[in-house]
Amino acid sequence: MSDLSFEKKNAWLSLGDEEKSRVFAMGEAYKNFIDKAKTEREAAALIAAMAQEEGFVPVEDYLSGKVPLAAGSKVCAVNKDKSVILMVMGTAPLSKGMRIVGAHIDSPRLDLKPVPLYEDADLALMKTHYYGGVKKYQWASTALALHGVVMKKDGGRIQISIGEREEDPVFYISDLLPHLAKDQMQKKASEVIEGEDLNIIAGNIPLEGEDKHPVKEAVLKILKENYGFSEKDFLFAELEIVPAGKARDVGFDRSMILGYGHDDRVCSFAGVKGLFEVDKPEFTAVGLFMDKEEVGSNGNTGSESKVFENLVAELINLQEADYSDLYLRRAFMASKVLSADVNAAFDPSFKSVYDKSNTGFLGYGLQVTKYTGSRGKSGCNDANAEFLAEVGRIFDDHQVVWQTGELGKVDQGGGGTIAYILANLGAEVVDCGIPLLSMHAPYELLSKVDLYMAYKGYKGFMY
């Protein structure tokens, strides 16, 4: 091949035996992570616990003066138990900019409605509302688990996780048998199962002596006896339906991982692991692990909120004797960001939706996406060439195998990430994540070597 040509390369072929062992070890650590972090609350709690073990200190201790803020200080800020911001303070003041890896920890799922439980045909069922972009039919006929939190009026909190242990029951959404699906099979895929038909089957045994809703009452009795909450407590709950079971290796060579929530807990995991190995950088290194990306990043736990800006302002106030809003503005204008989110890998079974020369591939490393958006780049952040060249140099210097790619053909569809949010504050931002097959399905597929290259790339960028 000519030196003037460009050709993507398989990342597995760049590894020696020692580094290949690290790839598989990281895959095991990641599977353990996503098995425990199936919701944004669980992911936030796990990341905060991991950070504490690595010496990160709650931001409140710095703000109160209990712990002095200095170069190398490790800061952990948990926002409403649903998002986490980690920072390793640099030798330069914050007003000189930050090096940020921003990911999200929410994933497509089904949420229980506030009044979910009802009975029909001697079955207890629970109503749901889907969260994020899903193919609704994919959620039928598979084992499902219930995760979340129930708040009691007295301030108590009940943590719920049902369906993950072998001895647990699971939950289920029914589908029509082929023998009776003549009319259903004529529908568009988006209408094969309607949103209001995503009802969870939760019980079948009637409570003796109950005439009106005996199966529903039997389920409520179990909830009260085993989990300590009543039907009214559903009003004060956040309960999520997710696929049951653990992440699994895929392939004879065990090179891939099948699991729920790779989008985007895999980039979050890679960012966390990379940040843990950053020690006293020149510019403050930041890991953003945010909620609500799948529904537009809105709300007080999403990236559109002022939470991160407020945190940076508080820390600048500790650094500067004469705090001014200009310091905050300068901090973001001088910052550089990797918007760490997954992208679509080329799928040989569905070739027609991809531009093969401008698509990422499983096993070809970390994927850089210059722009997202849909059709005409609508709603995109389009990274500057100067910043792309800088990111490419960093990755090459740190022996990161990387590739470029976009989200399908020009008029096929599209999507977006949190990139535009920080770009609106003046930061240099580019999307940079891990390619997946079956993105947004209950079970997604990734290559272990791409996870490893993401960890290397994020770590190199934050130094």
DSSP codes joined into one string, 100-148: EEEEE----EEEEEEEEEEEETTEEEEEEEEESS--GGGGSSS-EEEEE
What's the pLDDT at 379?
82
Which pLDDT tens digit goes with each residue over 162-187? 999 999 999 999 999 999 999 999 99
β-pair partners for 171:
144
The structure tokens listed for 213 are 């809703």
What's the pLDDT at 337?
97
What's the pLDDT at 4?
61
Q: How far apart are CA 75 and CA 96, in angstroms?
A: 18
| C-alpha distances in Å from residue 41, one per residue of 80, 283, 387 | 9, 29, 34
Q: What is the mean pLDDT of residues 137-157?
A: 94
What's the pLDDT at 378?
84
Cα 42 versus chain centre, distance: 11
Query: Model confidence at 1, in pLDDT bands (50, 70, 90)?
Result: very low
What domains are defined for the chain? 11-107+260-462 (3.40.630.10), 109-243 (2.30.250.10)
pTM recorded for the entire structure? 0.96
Which pLDDT tens digit goes with each residue over 48-93? 999 999 999 999 999 999 999 999 999 999 999 999 999 999 999 9
DSSP codes joined into one string, 428-462: EEEEEE-EEBSTTSSSEEEEHHHHHHHHHHHHHHH
